Every structure is written in C-alpha cells, then in structure tokens.
Amino acid sequence: MQKIIRLQNLLTFVTESSHSSFYKKHFGTSMNHKEVRTYEDLALLPSISKNDLLQTPLSDRLYIPTGRGLVKVVDSGTHSFLIKRVLSELREEQFGNLGERPTVLFSNGHESLEKSLWCYEQNTLPMIGESTNIPITEYFVHRYESDSFLGDIKTLESIFEQSKDAFLPGSQFTLCEGGFDLVRIKKHVPLDSTTLILSFPEVGACAHSCPYHLKNNRLVFHPDKNSIIEHDTNLTVTKLIAMPTPIIRYITDVPSKTEEYSCDCKEEVSFSLT
Amino acid sequence: MTDKEKLDSYGLKPLEDMKKSGCSKDYMIRVSSGTSGKKPVFMIQNKSRDLGKEPLFSNQFKDVRRIVFFGGMLNARLSSAARFLFYLGEDEYTILAVDNVDMNSSLEGLFRDFKPEGFIGFPSFIARALSFVNDKRVLEHVKAVRFSGEMISDAQKELFHDKIPQATLENIYASAEVGYMSGVSCSHLKESQYHPYERVNIEIINQDEDGVGDLVVSYNLSPSIYINQYVTGDTARFLKSPCVWRHHNI
Ligand SMILES: [Zn+2]
Ligand SMILES: [Zn+2]
C-alpha cells in the first residue's frame, strides 16, 4: 500500500480512537485529518516532541491496549517515560539485515531487549550481550560464533577494544542510533559490511544508510518502508506501523537536509544529517 | 560427575545441531556470569526442556498479565520475556524489565503508569526497587511475587509485607546454568523447601548423618545430550513429609 494511504488510515485511526485522545487534543482544530492528501498537507499538522511524551502518561497515549509485548523505559536524561511495543508491529521494524547468529548489544538494556525480541520475530536466535560486562560478552560472541552485530557505536567500540576478532570474518554490522560518525565507525569495521539504521528509542527505526553512498564515505539515508520523514529542518518522523503509542510528526533534535545526489537504490527520497 | 567446565563444553554441541538444521528458534541460550574467578558458562540448549507450555507458576499468577522482571543478566530477562511472550499460549502478557539504570526515584512514577500485577526476580533487587516506592497505591495491583536466585532475608520479607501486603510470595529453585530445578511452589512447603522439577533428576550425594549432602542434577540438555550429575554447589536434604524435598542454599 502506498505510504500516503497508510498515513490517511493512521490519521483516521488516531482521531477516531476511543482509547486515547492524545493526538486529537494535540491536533486541535488546526485542520481536518481528512484533508491530508499529500506530504505537504502532513506538514501542516502540529508536531509532537519528546516533551509531549514525557508529560503524558503511557496510559493516556495508548491507542492499542491489547497485544503481547514489551514496555520499555526511555531515558531522557533527567526523566524517563514508557513506550510500549507489541510483537505484531515490532516484527515489521526495519532494524537491518541479520546474519544467522546475531549479537545484540546496546548501551541501554531496554534497547537490547527490544531488538532481541525483534530477532525472535525474524526467526533468529539472538545472543543478548551485557554492556556492563564487555569481557564476558566478548567471550559469548566468540562461543556463539556470532556472524552479525546489532547495537550502537559505543558497544561496538568496546567489543573491538576487548578483541579484534570476536566476530567471524565477513560478519555484518548494524548500528541503530540517532546519528553517526563515519570516522569512528571505519576504525573498527569496513563500511561495505555495515548498515546504519537511523533510529530513536521512542520511535524505532526510520531510515537506513544508502549502501552506494556509504561505500563512498557519504552519509546519505533513505526513509524505510514504514516511515515518512520530513527533512530540511529537524528530522521529523511519522511511523506508519500500528504502534500502541503511534508516532506522528515526531520532531527530533537532529538537523537534516534533503540530498539531491542520485544512487542506484531506486529510492525516491534521500536526505543527510547536518 | 559434571563440573562447570565440562557443562560448558557440552553446551556447544547443540550449536552444531542448530547450525546444521538452520532452525534456531528451537534453541535457547543459557549463560552464567562466572563469579569468583570461575569461567563463565555459555550454552546452547534445545528449548524444549524449559519452554514447555507449563508455566511453573502457582495459581496466584493465573490472572497476572503485567509483569516486571528485575535484575539478573539480560539473557535471563530475555529468556523470561520469551517464555511469556512466545511460549505460554495466547494470553496477552506485557513485560517491563527493570534495569540497573532504572533503579532511582523515577521508578515510582513508572510503576504508577505501568500498574504492575506480578514481580519476578532476585529478592534483593526487588527489595531495592521497592525502597524507591513510597506511595503504596502504586503497588496495589501486585498479586504475586516470584523469587529465584537467592534466599529471601527476614528484612526483605518485612519490606514486602509492608509495601505489598496483598501479594503472595513464592520461591523457585533455579540457576543460571541449569534453569529450573524445582516445580511450582506449593502452600504446604516452607520457604527453603521445594518439589523437584519433573524434567530433572535430583540426587544428594556425600550425605552426612542428617542426610545433608551435595545436590547434583541430571537432565537432557538436548534430545541427544544428557548431562550426568552436574554438581550445583548447593547442599540439600530430602524430606520424608508429604512434601519430599528440602534444600539449603549455601
Ligand atoms: Zn541509495
Ligand atoms: Zn506439596
């Protein structure tokens, strides 16, 4: 289904929901959701920010109260808030290409758990590492003959500081974060076996690095199939999957801009972080 | 006899089976952190031993749907999550796995929002979490608490009776490297007494005149791998009362 139709369905869903009025209140009378026919129309709706999530208890922004899943704590530095994921939508996430025996290792334990459940949903058995005990995690990576990594740059660095050859030759590395430093990444892993997934704990994945540009040392992203991204401003994300806590026009603190570079991916949209 | 090192070496054989079959979802990972200079344990095991349909919980857990897991290694929290989310039928469990970094004063607000109904974890970790909760109404939905990993102290018991008087406390004997060794707690057993889990064979060797000796377990790690007499490091004795078995944790 086209993204724009999925968007219209999502807007209808949140404005007609009997479970939560979070977005209805937030949109107010700014416009009728039925008038959203293009991405430009979407930009006329008010955005939400981390502060809105912080100030609204989970129970007041929960549009899908049922379903097996996980509630995770998202830490914003001084305060925390809850985000719920259910398996039926978590499995749709685009967290990169898994090998057969992935190591999942994020600095934050909630992220590791969420991504590990996602691995289960892809019929893959994850080895969940302990970011507070890297020596033991490196031992487990080795024992598991792990052929892929799903985590962040901090944990990747710490594993490589512990051992240069923890992973099998030819392993795939996927980093899920809100921003990337290619110089730092290249120190440890070759870019042609690396996928960068632009993601945020409260949002999930929203875009992936263009492999063509990455090989040439350029950080260009394409929105994933579940996301509409507004760039040329602070990156603003709308997620089209049926999340219990939907994400519509969520404005991040990451500045971005539209890229005119072309590539072979046949993707319509390209953007970079500035 | 099987010691920790030997157990660890057995644990890699199922990895070969897993690689050959290409069906990793029939397997699970079991690890222990290797305390006091001992090597950690890393094992792959066929999940059928531990992840059957039987929940190994008492009736008190029957209506519990929002569960908080506390502490332990992430692998243990993931295995618990997988048990509830993938293997216990169709019930709509929601889990929240509290991490060390969440152990601060914001916990009260998070519990107010989550409305937990059941707690699972180490008693010391749960006790520490409850010490951050002053408003007991936040805990009023907690029906049952399941402990494992350590014995509950008197001070902890007092704290639980104060903060969650309505909740039943139950205990299970399990270890990171073996998994369950006792079955569902039952009302006519005292805290340090357990019924053996039917899928492990329990023996007590080197018994003294009171019958107290070293607890060893034997079980199938996978259909083709039998662990014979793994020395748990705990001592125990059998009871002759209607409830047959007693364990002292050391
Ligand atoms: Zn591209
Ligand atoms: Zn009994």
- Is A116 within 8 Å of chain B by CB? yes
- Is the CB of residue A168 less than 8 Å away from at least one CB of chain B? no
Kindly list the residues of chain B whose beta carbon comes within 8 Å of any beta carbon in chain A. 12, 15, 18-19, 22, 24-25, 27-29, 31, 33-34, 40, 42, 44, 73-75, 77-78, 81-82, 84-86, 91-102, 106, 109-110, 112-115
Domain that holds residue A84: 66-273
Residue B246 falls inside a structural domain: no
Q: Which residues, 6 or more positions from B47, have their beta carbon under 8 angstroms from its beta carbon?
A: B26, B27, B28, B87
Q: What angle do CA A159, A162, A166 make, to 5 degrees?
A: 65
**Domain assignment present for B241:** no
Domain assignment present for B24 = yes
Question: Do B143 and B165 contact (CB within 8 A), yes or no?
Answer: no
Instruction: Tell me what pLDDT residue A132 has.
Output: 94
A–B: how many Cβ contacts below 8 A? 115
Which segments in chain A show pLDDT lower than 70?
A: 30-31
Q: Which is more confident, A217 or B24?
A: A217
Residue B171's pLDDT band (boundaries 50, 70, 90)? confident
Q: Which position has the token pair 């139950």?
A: B170
- Dihedral sign from CA coordinates of A115, A116, A121, A124: positive
Q: pLDDT tier at B250 (50, 70, 90 boundaries)?
A: very low
Higher pLDDT: B186 or B146? It is B146
Q: Distance from first CA to last CA of chain A, Å, rounded? A: 31
Please write the tens of the pLDDT for every residue from A84-120.
Answer: 999 999 999 999 988 999 999 999 999 999 999 999 9
Number of compact structural domains in chain B: 1
CB B230 within 8 A of CB B19: no
pTM: 0.94
Q: Which ligand is nearest to the CA of A215?
A: 1
Q: Is residue B249 part of a domain?
A: no
Residue A163 covered by a domain:
yes
State the smallest CA–CA distance between residue A46 and chain B in angstroms. Answer: 26
The structure tokens listed for B193 are 């007494």
Question: Domains in chain A: how many in total?
Answer: 1
Strands (E), chain A: 69-75, 80-86, 102-105, 127-128, 148-151, 172-177, 194-200, 204-209, 221-223, 227-230, 234-239, 250-258, 271-273
Residues in B touching A77 (Cβ below 8 Å): none
User: Is residue B75, in this structure, part of any structural domain at all?
Assistant: yes
Domain assignment of residue B245, yes or no: no
More confident residue, B161 or A97: B161
- Answer for the pair A91, A243: CB distance below 8 angstroms, yes or no: no
CA–centroid distance, B220 to ligand 1, in Å, is: 50
CA pair distance A205, A132, nearest whole angstrom: 24
Domain that holds residue B87: 4-236
Q: Which residues of A touch B84 (CB under 8 A)?
A: 68
pLDDT attached to residue B150: 82
| Confidence (pLDDT) at B71 | 80
Digit-coded pLDDT (tens) for B225-234: 889 999 988 8
Q: Which CATH number fits the domain that encloses residue A160?
A: 3.40.50.12780
pLDDT at B243: 63
Report which bound ligand comes closest to the CA of A263. Answer: 1
Non-local CB neighbours of B62 within 8 Å, separated by 6+ positions: none
Kindly report the CATH number assigned to the domain that includes residue B222. 3.40.50.12780
- A71 in contact with B, Cβ within 8 Å: yes
User: Cα-flanking dihedrals φ and ψ of residue A239, to 5°?
Assistant: -100, 130
- Contact of A72 with chain B, judged by CB distance below 8 Å, is answered with yes
pLDDT in tens, B89-116: 678 999 999 999 999 989 999 999 999 9
